[in-house]
Amino acid sequence: MRPTRAFGFVLLALLLVHPAAFAQLTTGTISGFDRANFGTPDMVAFIDGQPNPNAGRITRTRTPARQMQIGLRWMF
């Protein structure tokens, strides 16, 4: 199995709302540039002689999905 590499970044903005108060807005992502690494499809074509409706369907990935978050902090 290949090792997983993660890349993340954060953007920060300070907004002056009032002379005595300001807001801090942050946004960030983890694994932002990763490509999809799909799991193996369901390999069972028949169940008890009946066609499997999930045959060939991919229902998961091998690596964690991209994660994004935003935050807002009010400081006075």
| pLDDT greater at residue 65 or residue 38 | 38
Convert the pLDDT of each residue in 4-63 to its tens digit: 566 667 777 877 877 888 888 888 877 666 677 888 998 999 999 999 998 999 988 887
Amino acid at site 75: M
Residue 43, φ and ψ in degrees, nearest 5: -95, 0
